[in-house]
Amino acid sequence: MPMMTVTDLEQLQATLNQAGYDYQLELEDGKIIVVGPSDIDSSEIGVLFSRLLANWVYPRRLGRVFDSAGGFILPNTDLKAPDVSFVRASRLRQRRRYFAEMVPDLVVEIKSQSDRIKPLEEKIQMFLSLGAIVGILIDPDKETVTVYRPTDESTVLGNGEILTIPELFPGWELPIAEVWPPVFDEEE
C-alpha cells in the first residue's frame, strides 16, 4: 500500500465533503485514520477546558488555543489534531488558513467512552518526543487529569487538586473539579 501524504488526505477530505460526508481524518505513518466523534461528556469537557484556558491565554496575549479540528503537520509528516492544543504567541504570530506545520506546545487528549487509555498515552508521548512541552490526558471515567512532561514522570490529579502549567501559563490555576460537566438536579 502506498504511503499517503497530507495532499492525499486533503483530496480525500474534499471528495468526501462534496459527497456529503463529514469525517475528521488524521494522517499517521502514511495511513489515513478516520477519527470518530466523541461522546457528549468528552466533547463538553473539551469545550470547558478550552474556555477556561482561553480565558487566561487571550487577555495576556500568550498564544492561541485550538479545538479538536485544528490540524498540525508534524516533523514526522503525520497530520494530527489533539482534542485541545496551545501554541505560544512567539511561535505562531500570524493567522494561516492551513494546517500548522509545527508541534503544539500543549496537547490535551480527552478519553471518550470508546477510547482505550494506552493509545491516548502513546499519542501524547509522540507529541512530547517531537517537542511538545506538556501533554495532558483527561479521563472522565476516573475523573483524573494526568500531566506528562518530557523529562518527568506523569502526575495524576483528581478532584480537590489544582492543575498548574507554570512553564506555559505562569499563575494559571485550574481546579480539577471545574473540568467535569455540571450535573443538574431533576425538576420536581
Euclidean distance between CA atoms 45 and 100, whole angstroms? 24
3-state secondary structure of 175: strand
What's the confidence (pLDDT) of residue 57?
97
Phi and psi based region of residue 140 (left: phi greater than 0; alpha: psi -120 to 50; beta: remaining): alpha
Tell me the β-bridge partners of 109: 137
Measure Cα distances from 129 to 3, 60, 88, 93, 105 in Å. Answer: 22, 28, 18, 24, 12
- pLDDT value at 53 more than 80: yes
pLDDT digits (tens, 9 = 90+) for 115-133: 899 999 999 999 999 999 9
Across 164-182, average pLDDT: 96
The DSSP element (H or E) to which 134 belongs, if any, is: strand 134-139
Instruction: Please state the rounded mean pLDDT for residues 169-186.
Output: 92
The x, y and z cell numbers of residue 70, run together, are 485544528
What pLDDT, in 10s, does the model give residues 68-112?
888 898 998 888 889 999 999 999 867 777 788 899 999 999 999
Q: How many CB atoms lie within 10 A of CB 91?
A: 13
Report the predicted TM-score, pTM, of the whole model to 2 decimal places: 0.86
At 93 the pLDDT is 67
Give yes or no for residue 22 having a pLDDT over 90.
no
* Mean pLDDT taken over the chain: 88
Of 1, 82, 27, the closest CA to residue 11 belongs to 27
Could you tell me the residue ranges of all domains in the chain?
Answer: 1-36, 38-179
- For domain 38-179, give the fold: tt1808, chain A (3.90.1570)
What per-residue confidence (pLDDT) applies to 121? Answer: 95
